């Protein structure tokens, strides 16, 4: 029995699948690249190159092949320069129109002997016919048209879908270009000032560029548009954040007592950031501030300062952290700070027992708990607050927009303070966080020394052991981080479990602890406490300790198979040491020892500054890779490249600012809004507003 075959999609169906249902869609479906096709005489053709050539038809044939499954069309062509003929072949599935007599007749007429044709495609040697061959495009051309044919064609190459071939898509886009008239929302004056070509020209040239420089000009204009409309939407969103009803004036007595109790004075950068935060809290609209500060810069005290200011107004604060370990640690710390002030704190994570949880939830609803610390459990449905005035999100890059909003929606118009150590280069911050205010803690607490960072190979274990030995002998502690928990059959990586045994054997005088994500909550707490209190001197761990863990007495960080970790992650891991005024060390063991891994790891050896690390990483890997999908709000661009197009981003940013400021008075405002809407930025921006 013959199987019923599913029909392949028609070109229209394929276009729909790609989301290309209107001419505008087609125009904005940019080629992924342009293939350079040189026009050549036949005498100069070489197998392997892609060319365009012109010749006379010597012979044209249409026949069936593969038992009638295919219709094969062949041309034999020559020009005056060629000693040899050129064969061209096209295969068509045997279905309409290729099976109709009408099509055959028309083809035979078009390609009658002696007629002039232009042929393009990759050149190969056809051993069967004993001549060069091209399997590509063939079309008739008149002698007059030849003169206007360029010597080099930039042929657009698009992402395709089943049922759609390159030629058809190119034809559709050409047709869309011919039939669509576009009004340019960007005023001519502005375009001239910033060297931007008109929109319709840009769209024509991005598909079928007349020259590489015109392609570049088109790209420049369209990249500008990508930045501009996004920036505009972000600004509009910012203007639509609802107002808090009353203007607050802050009493700072709790804050003063807290600062008085601290064993250190705030750094200049911390004080400046704290002032910015406190100032935000007195405004009529809720704070939305991102505090960026390198690992160890001291962001936690800023967060607690903000919490105290809000608590003093009679409201509650919530501090959300990405891991249970970090939440526990924060809880221990803030409790030691808040208890002396007579304030109540609580910890809520996924492993809080049902009974504890019940009590905690009722106290929270009654307003007895002033500051609650926890994981995303804080945002779960059953959790209700008496009056949530401030949400602090630590390591905000680890949370999605949804989790953040779920927590924010538990208050009326709570303030939002986000903190991150994943350094986002300024330009990126500009692109992503237009709606946020950004504070930068660009100064480390005094007395911190640069961490000596070395990249070693796996056979230098003895060196590593000597380093650890030396530090332990002085009473300091060490971390050893591995990528895996358990040994697996198909992996040569040393696991944390194996390393635990190895280290215990190598350091019989000392206690070695272990911490990884697969351990239960209690075991984790015990392990971390044992290390914190110095009962264990070496902690073998996985990347669970990447965020937050704060044990100032630790001075060595060894990361095995460092090539397995991202640079930002390694920088975070390194940040676990160097938290006191003692010299600290970081050893990155390169298990791959390739040129690429060496280059990457050397970045860390050379830079202490997380921003420098991030920018170098960005250059190596590109923005999408570095920030990952988790980084809420990283926009996807069709053409723009955040590293390469930084200058343009700045221009678009200030253009968007002035457009939004002038708003409705601007003659092209409606067009701009329509375009931002078409791109989906406005809806998305409003959906992501944390208070909608």
Q: Is the peptide bond before 391 cis (omega within 30 degrees of 0)?
A: no
In the bound state with ligand ADP, the residue whose beta carbon lies nearer, of 301 and 478, is: 301
Asked if 405 is part of the footprint of ligand ADP (rule: CB under 6 A), the reply reads no
- Smallest gap, in angstroms, from Cβ of residue 265 to ligand ADP? 6
Interface residue with ligand ADP among 201, 442, 550, 609 (CB under 6 A) is: 550
The pair of structure tokens assigned to 354 is 């049902």
- Smallest gap, in angstroms, from Cβ of residue 346 to Mg ion? 20
In the bound state with Mg ion, the residue whose beta carbon lies nearer, of 322 and 389, is: 322
Q: C-alpha distances in angstroms, 49 versus 130, 146, 389?
A: 18, 21, 67
Whose structure tokens read 């680890």? 398
Ramachandran assignment for 518, one of left (phi > 0), alpha (psi -120 to 50 degrees), beta (any other): alpha
**Rounded Cα gap, residues 273 and 254, in angstroms:** 18
Q: Choose from ligand ADP, Mg ion, none: what does 297 bind? Cβ within 5-8 Å by kind.
A: ligand ADP
**Rounded Cα gap, residues 389 and 312, in angstroms:** 11
In the bound state with ligand ADP, the residue whose beta carbon lies nearer, of 269 and 428, is: 269
- Smallest gap, in angstroms, from Cβ of residue 299 to ligand ADP? 4
Q: C-alpha distances in angstroms, 38 versus 95, 119, 121, 217, 692?
A: 34, 12, 10, 22, 55
Asked if 295 is part of the footprint of ligand ADP (rule: CB under 6 A), the reply reads yes
Asked if 411 is part of the footprint of ligand ADP (rule: CB under 6 A), the reply reads no
Q: C-alpha distances in angstroms, 181 versus 27, 204, 240, 669, 677?
A: 11, 12, 33, 19, 19
In the bound state with ligand ADP, the residue whose beta carbon lies nearer, of 52 and 295, is: 295
Interface residue with ligand ADP among 298, 411, 414, 483 (CB under 6 A) is: 298
In the bound state with ligand ADP, the residue whose beta carbon lies nearer, of 236 and 302, is: 302
Asked if 267 is part of the footprint of ligand ADP (rule: CB under 6 A), the reply reads yes
End-to-end CA distance of the chain: 60
- Smallest gap, in angstroms, from Cβ of residue 241 to Mg ion? 26
CB 583 within 8 A of CB 556: no
In the bound state with ligand ADP, the residue whose beta carbon lies nearer, of 410 and 571, is: 571
Ramachandran assignment for 449, one of left (phi > 0), alpha (psi -120 to 50 degrees), beta (any other): beta
Q: Which stretch binds ligand ADP (CB under 6 A): 266-274, 431-439, 469-477, 681-689?
A: 266-274
Interface residue with ligand ADP among 270, 325, 422, 477 (CB under 6 A) is: 270
- Smallest gap, in angstroms, from Cβ of residue 292 to ligand ADP? 10
Q: Choose from Mg ion, ligand ADP, none: what does 554 bind? Cβ within 5-8 Å by kind.
A: none
Interface residue with ligand ADP among 172, 299, 404, 574 (CB under 6 A) is: 299
H helices of 111-153, in order, are 143-148
Q: How many CA atoms lie within 13 A of 504 on its CB side?
A: 12
In the bound state with Mg ion, the residue whose beta carbon lies nearer, of 389 and 548, is: 548
In the bound state with Mg ion, the residue whose beta carbon lies nearer, of 222 and 573, is: 573
Site string for ligand ADP, 301-330 (x = CB under 6 A): x-----------------------------
In the bound state with Mg ion, the residue whose beta carbon lies nearer, of 298 and 635, is: 298
Binders of ligand ADP among residues 640 to 669 (CB under 6 A) are none
- Smallest gap, in angstroms, from Cβ of residue 570 to ligand ADP? 15
Interface residue with ligand ADP among 230, 297, 557, 601 (CB under 6 A) is: 297
Binders of ligand ADP among residues 445 to 464 (CB under 6 A) are 445
**Rounded Cα gap, residues 477 and 555, in angstroms:** 6
**Rounded Cα gap, residues 630 and 265, in angstroms:** 35
Q: By CB under 5 A, name the binding residues for Mg ion.
A: 548
- Determine whether 39 is exposed, middle or buried from the number of CB atoms within 10 Å of its CB (0-12, 13-18, 19+): middle
Among candidate residues 576, 584, 293, 321, the one with its CA nearest the CA of residue 442 = 293
Q: Choose from ligand ADP, Mg ion, none: what does 264 bind? Cβ within 5-8 Å by kind.
A: ligand ADP
- Smallest gap, in angstroms, from Cβ of residue 320 to Mg ion? 12
CB 21 within 8 A of CB 93: no
Q: What are phi and psi of 517, to 5 degrees?
A: -70, -20
**Dihedral, CA atoms, 348, 350, 352, 356, nearest 10 degrees?**
70
Site string for ligand ADP, 60-99 (x = CB under 6 A): ----------------------------------------
**Rounded Cα gap, residues 584 and 578, in angstroms:** 5
Binders of ligand ADP among residues 574 to 593 (CB under 6 A) are 579
Among candidate residues 468, 480, 454, 446, the one with its CA nearest the CA of residue 579 = 446
- Smallest gap, in angstroms, from Cβ of residue 375 to ligand ADP? 17
Q: In the β-sheet with 477-481, what is the strand arrangement from edge to edge?
A: 452-457, 585-590, 554-559, 477-481, 538-541, 512-515
Q: Which stretch binds ligand ADP (CB under 6 A): 293-301, 514-522, 527-535, 536-544?
A: 293-301
For 434-465, the three-class secondary structure string (H helix, E strand, C coil) is CCCEEEEECCCCCCCCCCEEEEEEHHHHHHHH
Q: Choose from Mg ion, ligand ADP, none: what does 330 bind? Cβ within 5-8 Å by kind.
A: none
Nearest 5°: the CA angle 553, 535, 344 is 75
Asked if 421 is part of the footprint of ligand ADP (rule: CB under 6 A), the reply reads yes
What are the residues binding ligand ADP (CB under 6 A)? 264, 266-267, 270, 293, 295-301, 421, 445, 550, 552, 579
């Amino acid at each position: 029995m013959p199987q019923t075959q599913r029909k392949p999609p028609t070109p229209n169906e394929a276009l729909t699948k790609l989301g290309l249902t209107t001419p505008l869609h087609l125009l904005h479906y940019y080629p992924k690249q342009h293939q350079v096709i040189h026009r050549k005489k036949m005498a100069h053709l070489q197998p392997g190159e892609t060319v365009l050539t012109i010749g006379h038809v010597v012979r044209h044939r249409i026949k069936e092949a593969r038992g009638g499954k295919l219709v094969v069309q062949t041309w034999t062509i020559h020009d005056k320069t060629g000693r040899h003929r050129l064969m061209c072949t096209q295969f068509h599935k045997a279905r309409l129109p290729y099976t109709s007599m009408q099509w055959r007749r028309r083809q035979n007429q078009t390609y009658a002997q002696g007629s002039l044709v232009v042929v393009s495609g990759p050149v190969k040697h056809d051993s069967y016919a004993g001549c060069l061959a091209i399997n590509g495009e063939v079309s008739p051309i008149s002698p007059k048209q030849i003169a206007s044919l360029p010597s080099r064609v930039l042929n657009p190459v698009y992402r395709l879908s089943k049922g759609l071939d390159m030629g058809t898509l190119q034809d559709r886009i050409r047709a869309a270009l011919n039939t669509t008239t576009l009004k340019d929302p960007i005023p001519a004056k502005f375009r001239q000032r910033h060297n931007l070509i008109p929109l319709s020209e840009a769209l024509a040239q991005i598909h079928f560029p007349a020259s590489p420089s015109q392609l570049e000009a088109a790209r420049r204009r369209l990249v500008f548009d990508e930045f501009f409309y996004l920036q505009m939407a972000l600004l509009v969103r910012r203007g639509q954040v609802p107002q808090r009803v009353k203007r607050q004036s802050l009493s700072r007595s709790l804050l003063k007592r807290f600062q008085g109790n601290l064993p250190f004075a705030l750094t200049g950068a911390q004080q400046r950031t704290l002032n910015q935060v406190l100032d935000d809290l007195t405004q009529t609209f809720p704070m939305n501030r991102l505090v960026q500060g390198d690992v160890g810069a001291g962001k936690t005290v800023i967060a607690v300062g903000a919490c105290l200011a809000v608590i003093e107004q009679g409201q509650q604060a919530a501090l959300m952290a990405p891991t249970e370990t970090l939440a526990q640690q924060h809880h221990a710390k803030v409790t030691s700070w808040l208890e002396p002030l007579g304030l109540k704190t609580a910890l809520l994570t996924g492993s809080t027992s049902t009974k504890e949880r019940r009590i905690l939830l009722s106290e929270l609803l009654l307003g007895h708990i002033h500051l609650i610390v926890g994981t995303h459990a804080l945002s779960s449905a059953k959790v209700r607050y008496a009056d949530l005035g401030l949400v602090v999100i630590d390591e905000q890059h680890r949370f999605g927009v949804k989790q953040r909003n779920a927590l924010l929606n538990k208050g009326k118009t709570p303030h939002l303070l986000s903190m991150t150590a994943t350094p986002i280069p300024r330009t990126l911050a500009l692109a992503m966080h237009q709606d946020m205010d950004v504070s930068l803690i660009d100064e480390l607490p005094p007395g911190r020394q640069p961490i000596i960072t070395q990249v070693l190979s796996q056979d230098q274990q003895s060196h590593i052991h000597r380093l650890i030995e030396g530090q332990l002998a002085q009473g300091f502690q060490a971390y050893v981080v591995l990528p895996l928990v358990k040994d697996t059959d198909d992996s040569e990586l040393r696991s944390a479990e194996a390393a635990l045994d190895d280290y215990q054997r190598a350091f019989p005088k000392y206690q070695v602890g272990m911490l990884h994500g697969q351990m239960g909550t209690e075991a984790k707490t015990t392990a971390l406490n044992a290390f914190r209190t110095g009962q264990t001197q070496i902690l073998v761990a996985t990347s669970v300790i990447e965020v937050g863990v704060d044990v100032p007495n630790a001075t060595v960080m060894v990361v095995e198979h460092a090539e397995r970790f991202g640079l930002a992650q390694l920088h975070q891991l390194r940040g676990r040491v160097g938290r006191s005024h003692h010299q600290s060390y970081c050893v990155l063991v390169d298990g791959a020892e390739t040129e690429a891994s060496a280059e990457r790891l050397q970045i860390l050896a050379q830079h202490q500054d997380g921003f420098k690390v991030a920018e170098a990483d960005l250059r190596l890997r590109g923005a999408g890779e570095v920030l990952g999908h988790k980084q809420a709000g990283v926009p996807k661009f069709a053409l723009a490249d955040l590293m390469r197009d930084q200058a343009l981003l700045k221009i678009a940013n200030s253009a968007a600012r002035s457009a939004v400021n002038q708003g409705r008075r601007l003659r092209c405002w409606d067009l701009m809004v329509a375009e931002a809407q078409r791109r989906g930025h406005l809806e998305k921006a409003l959906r992501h507003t944390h208070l909608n």
